[in-house]
Structure 1
Amino acid sequence: MTTLTKPARRRRSLNWGRISAWAALTVAIIITIGPFLWMLRTALSNNHALASQSSNLLPADFTWGAFARVFGLQSQAQAQAEGGSGASINFWQYLGNSLIVSTMITFSQVFFSAMAAYAFARLQWPGRDKVFAMFLGTLLVPGIFTALPNFLLVKNLGLLNTYLGIALPSMLMTPFAVFFLRQFFLGMSREVEEAAMLDGARHSRIFFQIALPNASAPIATLCLLTFIAAWNDYFWPLLVGNSPAVRVLTVGLGVFKSQSPQGAPDWSGLMAATLVSALPILLLFIAFGKKIVNSIGFSGIK
C-alpha cells in the first residue's frame, strides 16, 4: 500500500523589487492626493480657527459654512460671522460660462483635428510628410509666444469679453490632437476604404461613415483630454474675458481671492469653491481614466 505525500510547500522568497515598486507607488499616491485632502480640510474649517490650528490635520472647528457661501446660501453678515471675508462669488454663472467655453473648444477642436489627421494619414499629396513635420514642430513653441498676436486678432475682430473670443484660439486643430488621431488612422485597414472607393465613395463620405465611427474610442478620449485642458485654462480667459458676464470659473476664483473686504482672503470659501470646481473633472477622469490609458497605448504614443 502506497501513501501519498503532500508536496512540500515552497517558500516564496520576498521580491524586494516588487515591494519597492509598491512602496514608491504608495508614496506617489499620497503626494498626489495630499493637496486635495488639505483642500477638503480647509474647506470644512472655520476661518477664525485656521491660524490657531494650522498644524492640525483635521478640520479646524468643523463647519459646512464655506460650501454654503460658495452656493450663495449665506448672507454677508453670516459669512463674516463664520470667518468669511464678505466677498461674493457668482459660482453658478461662472460654472455655466466654463461649461459653455469648454464645450465649444472640445467639439470644434476635435472635429477639425480629426479631419486634419485623416488628411495626413490617408490622403496622398505632395509634401505631406514635410508639412506634417513642420506642423508637429509647433509643439516646441511656448503658448505665451502666441498670446499677444492672438489677443490683437481677437481685439480687432471685436470679440473681447465674448464666449467666441475666449474659445477661438483653441477651436481649430492642435498638433497633439492631430498627432494623436493620425496614429490611429495610420493603423486602420485600407481594405474597407478601397472597397468603398470602388463603390464610388469619395473621401468625405469615407471620413464620416467609416473613419469616424471606427475612431470613436480615441475621439472620446481626445474629447475628455481637450475638455479638461479647456476647463483648467486660466491665462487666456483672464486676458480676453474678464467681464463678469463671460468670466469662467478659474478666473472667478482668482477674483474671489483678491476681493477681501476684511483684509484677509476667505481661505475656507476659496478651497470649497476650488474643490467643487475640480470635482466634475475628477469624476470624469475616474470614470474614463482606463479608457484614456488604453487609447494612448493603442495609438502608439510612448
Structure 2
Amino acid sequence: MTKSSRTSKNASPTPPSEQPAESEVAGKKPRQKASIGRIAAWVLLWVLLLITLFPFYWMLRTSLSNNLSLAGNPGNPFPVDFTLGAYKRVLGLATTEESMAEGGSGASIDFWLYLRNSVIVATLITVGQVVFCSMAAYAFARLKWTGRDLVFGILLCALMVPVIFTTIPNFITIRDLGLLNTHLGIALPTMLMTPFAIFFLRQFFLGINREVEEAAILDGAGHIRRFTSIALPLTGSPIATLAILTYINSWNEYFWPLVVGRAEDVRVLTVALGVFRSQTPQGGPDWAGLMAATLIAALPVIILFLLLGKRIINSIGYSGTK
C-alpha cells in the first residue's frame, strides 16, 4: 500500500457543520451596486411619471373645489372649499339655486345623453373595425392572389396621409348619403377598416402554423371555415387588444364628431364638453363642473387601460417583431 493511499484513508472527512449548504450558496445572489446612471434613470422615470399624472390630479383638485373660490386661490394645490357640488351639477342632481350658490355658470349638460352617444359611436367603430379588419388582414396574410404584396404596400402608405386631408372628401360623402347628424355618419369613416388595424392583425395571422391550416384543408375546410375555426380562436388576444385600442381612440375623438354631429341628440361627450365650456350665461366658465365632467368621461378608458395595459403593450411589441 502506498503512502498516498494510507494518507487518504487516515484523513478524516470534513464535519457536515463545516461544509456550506448548497441551498445557501445557490440562494445567494451577488448584489448589484446601483450605478449613477441607474439612479439617474429611476429619478428621470419618477419625474416623467409625476408630470404625466399631474394633470389628472389637477382635474380632481379643481372638480372638488367651490367654483366661486377658485379664482382667489389659483395656486392652491389642494381643493379650495371642498365640495361635491360640481359632480352633482354635471350629473343633474343639483337644483338651479344650488348650482348658482357654488359658482355654477348656469350652463346645462345632459351628461347621460352624451355618454350614451359616445358609447354607441365607439361601439359601432370598434365592432366594424374588428370584423372588417380581421377579414382583410387574413386575406393579406394567408390567401395567395395576384398583387397581394403591392396592394398591401399601397395600404401601408395610407398611414403617412394626414387625417385632415381626407376630412373634406369624407364630409361630402356623408352629406350626400344623408348621414349628417347621425350616429352612423360619425362612425362610418373609421368603422370599416384602417391601415394600422390591418397591419396589426396581419402580423399575428402570419404566425399561425401552416400545418394546422393544411390539416383543415385536408378535412375539406374552406376559407371561411379556416378563418372562423382556426385563425380567429388563435388570435383572440390581439383582436381583443385591437378592440380596446379602437374603443379608446373612438372615445377620445373630437374633430370629426364636431364636424358631422352638431345636433344635440347625437352629440358625443368630447364635443359636449367643449360646448359646456363655451356656455357662460351667468359670467365665467364653470371650471369645477367642466373638470368633473372631464374626469368622469375619462374614467372608462382609464380603467380599461389599467386593467389591460400590459396585454396591449405586449401585443403591440409582438406585432413589431414579426
- Matches of 2:75 and 2:321, distance apart in 1: 43
Kindly indicate whether residue 292 of structure 2 is the aligned counterpart of residue 287 of structure 1: no
CA root-mean-square deviation: 1.9
Which residue does 1:13 correspond to in 2? 33
- Matches of 2:32 and 2:225, distance apart in 1: 60
Kindly indicate whether residue 203 of structure 2 is the aligned counterpart of residue 180 of structure 1: no
State the Cα deviation string for residues 135-176 of structure 1 (Å, max 9, x = none): 000001010111111111111111111111111101111000
Q: Secondary structure of 1:96's partner?
A: helix
Q: Secondary structure of 1:299's partner?
A: helix
Give ranges in structure 2 of 5+ residues lacking alignment. 1-13
Contact 1:44/1:64 (CA < 8 Å) preserved in 2? yes
Which residue does 1:232 correspond to in 2? 252
Which residue does 1:71 correspond to in 2? 91
Kindly indicate whether residue 153 of structure 2 is the aligned counterpart of residue 137 of structure 1: no
Percent of aligned pairs with the same residue? Answer: 61
Which residue does 2:235 correspond to in 1? 215
Which residue does 2:283 correspond to in 1? 263
Contact 1:77/1:86 (CA < 8 Å) preserved in 2? no
Paired residues for 1:44-83 under 5 Å: 44-83=64-103
Contact 1:43/1:66 (CA < 8 Å) preserved in 2? yes
- Matches of 2:192 and 2:19, distance apart in 1: 72
| C-alpha displacement of 1:13 | 3.0
Q: How many residues align?
A: 302
TM-score, normalization by structure 1: 0.96
Letter in 1 for 2:127: F
Which residue does 2:272 correspond to in 1? 252
Contact 1:85/1:266 (CA < 8 Å) preserved in 2? yes
Letter in 2 for 1:36: F
Which residue does 1:111 correspond to in 2? 131
Which residue does 2:213 correspond to in 1? 193
State the Cα deviation string for residues 58-116 of structure 1 (Å, max 9, x = none): 00111100000010011222111101101110000000000001000001111111011
Which residue does 1:91 correspond to in 2? 111
| C-alpha displacement of 1:5 | 10
Which residue does 2:172 correspond to in 1? 152
State the Cα deviation string for residues 14-70 of structure 1 (Å, max 9, x = none): 322221221111111101110000000000011111111111100011110000001
- Matches of 1:227 and 1:150, distance apart in 2: 21
- Matches of 1:248 and 1:287, distance apart in 2: 24
Letter in 2 for 1:281: V
Give ranges in structure 1 of 5+ residues lacking alignment. none
| C-alpha displacement of 1:10 | 7.6
Which stretch of structure 1 is more off in the superposition, 197-206 or 34-43? 197-206
Which residue does 1:206 correspond to in 2? 226
Q: Secondary structure of 2:77's partner?
A: coil
- Matches of 2:196 and 2:96, distance apart in 1: 46
TM-score, normalization by structure 2: 0.90
- Matches of 1:75 and 1:157, distance apart in 2: 42
State the Cα deviation string for residues 242-280 of structure 1 (Å, max 9, x = none): 111111010110111111112211000000000000001
- Matches of 1:173 and 1:216, distance apart in 2: 18
Letter in 1 for 2:41: A
Q: Aligned pair in 2 of structure 1 residues 301, 32: CA closer, same or farther (>3 Å)?
A: farther
Contact 1:85/1:263 (CA < 8 Å) preserved in 2? yes
